[in-house]
Structure 1
């Protein structure tokens, strides 16, 4: 049976490929910068080093394009599995329940098939549009790898000339800064900051997985004339879901003629909005409900406590993201043979892992999910 958890795991397989792609590009940049026939670099010869490295710009961009082109077929295959194959199984899963509840069979309409195709096409289009314009562009001024490579060189050169850092410190620091920020995309977030390609990929993949799971289930319920659902419940919840989780809810607004006044409606809890019920990263499941057939065996949680727990869970997610980020930086430090950097990032990893252990120990509704702390190798 397909669940939000299984969809999340499949989504992670796609984003892991982007994680690996980005690491391979940074390894390419590091390897190129380590090639130097000028000997010791300082303010007296750093401009020669700068020109030597900039002469490698076209080579770096072309090699990065080869890396991306090699990964694209694997990314497309994983996206197809995530959306199309899982989508078909989701329809089959919910149909089995609906057939038992209604004692009838409703053929899968073209609308359902079109929904799956639309989500798949949307994901492909988003990736192809932005990846082609940022990672596959042969115009070095537009290519994300070219921008990062050139900026690292120019930053390191300026800091070496001023004497603020040794050349090695300047190069390493510029590399760490960009690994932390990620390869830049042409998109900005709500705050106006540039989104990294990795962050953009995660947003597209996770949104696609979420839409596929929820929208297909709700569409089939609509096809069967099901207007009620039993909402799953969790110890940690977002504010929009906390008051109605574990309860029977209407899948239609109060204005709908089929609205059942005995139950609340998901439309009263920001349904359709990113932060609302069934919004981005919401993991609640809406099970088809028919009076006299279902039994509500969902655990009950105090709404205020569930919201409080949700905020604690977000702290856990923050520590997990930090662990992954510092592990990526540790890989770079090891590649650079930067002893100070290795020790620094090992301390940061250990510190965040300790915070995770303490948080899980102090909150029995949490559990340690090591897959969220791993980086793809």
Structure 2
């Protein structure tokens, strides 16, 4: 079987929350630093102070390494244990042990997590310089005071946050998106690799589940049986499918299950799978996260307006009330739990 998006969420959620809070702390520090300087009639370069603050937070994030590893290993174990127990019951024995791909996946995870730690520090400095340049240019034009110039620069920037990565196509990856992608991708890969190894050790064949609306790279292969070995006279090789491609069988956001076949011909079926209900709640959860992000962004604007008294406070407070009502309606109508920690900015 594979880990579906709603299952992968369990292993990434608490780590993502840590990085959301870390980003918010840096953003709030940038806002407070610039507005305090502006209120003191100061437009000096404070990027070094912001970098020092970000570095202290990033140093703490490195302590999350064991937590990240633990969640990825838990995903592997939660996925492989039921299959192992089933094979032992069906075949009367169990061959092989799991964990053989662990080191590879954890090392790869560490590489990607080091990247976000390095980038967030560097990008914090770049953002501080961009805000300073924008505010200084506005002030020099003579149409705005230093406070007004800083207020405008901060409002223009604050929705963008601190990117964890700006890729070759220019796409900005937020810490929330980047960390969730890294943890879920590595957890999914490890679970899949261990599952396939267990099938090869204890059987020959797997079925791929089928569902309506399968992705183009998955649809041709669903609902069929495959051999785990090349040149099998009865069934095509599993490795001739789209397995290994991001949008293929067992890729991220794939909803298919691998169903191993025991030596006696019985097929493994995971217990209590209700994909329709899970998918519906997952979509609601995605919508909840979107609303939470919007609330955090608006609270940044409120912080700016409070700090410099720029006349925009009432506008943003009204916007916040509308956003909170929208989120409240969603949670009331779907049964989702309101998670206020994800809506806050750091005081």
User: What whole-Å deviation, never above 9, does each CA across 1:27-49 have from its counterpart, x for those lacking one?
Assistant: 1112212323755xxxxxxxx62
Whether the 8 Å CA contact 1:230–1:287 is kept in 2: the answer is yes
TM-score, reference length from structure 2: 0.77
User: What whole-Å deviation, never above 9, does each CA across 1:301-339 have from its counterpart, x for those lacking one?
Assistant: xxxxx9xxx9x9998677445313202213313433333
Change (3 A) 1:248 1:149: same
The offset of 1:115, in angstroms, is 0.8
Root-mean-square deviation (CA), in Å?
Answer: 4.0
- SS of equivalent to 2:99: helix
Change (3 A) 1:20 1:211: same
Change (3 A) 1:371 1:13: farther
> Does residue 1:375 correspond to 2:342, yes or no?
yes
1-structure distance, mates of 2:227, 2:145: 63
Q: 1:131 aligns with which of 112, 116, 132?
A: 116
> Does residue 1:95 correspond to 2:84, yes or no?
yes
* Structure 1 stretch displaced more, 21-30 or 76-85: 76-85
The offset of 1:118, in angstroms, is 0.9
1-structure distance, mates of 2:43, 2:56: 25
Structure 1 residue ranges without an equivalent (≥5):
40-47, 137-142, 300-305, 362-366
The total of aligned residue pairs comes to 331
- SS of equivalent to 1:240: coil
Map of 1:119 onto structure 2: 105
Whether the 8 Å CA contact 1:323–1:353 is kept in 2: the answer is no
Change (3 A) 1:10 1:318: closer
The offset of 1:240, in angstroms, is 3.3
- SS of equivalent to 2:173: strand
Whether the 8 Å CA contact 1:97–1:288 is kept in 2: the answer is no
2-structure distance, mates of 1:244, 1:369: 35
TM-score, reference length from structure 1: 0.71
Map of 2:65 onto structure 1: 76
> Does residue 1:150 correspond to 2:129, yes or no?
yes
Structure 2 residue ranges without an equivalent (≥5):
307-312
* Structure 1 stretch displaced more, 168-177 or 323-332: 168-177
Map of 2:234 onto structure 1: 260
Moved over 6 A (4+): 163-166, 295-299, 312-318, 371-374
Map of 1:167-178 to 2, 5 A cutoff? Answer: 170-178=149-157
The offset of 1:119, in angstroms, is 0.6
2-structure distance, mates of 1:259, 1:323: 53
Map of 2:43 onto structure 1: 50
Whether the 8 Å CA contact 1:15–1:201 is kept in 2: the answer is yes
Map of 1:140 onto structure 2: none
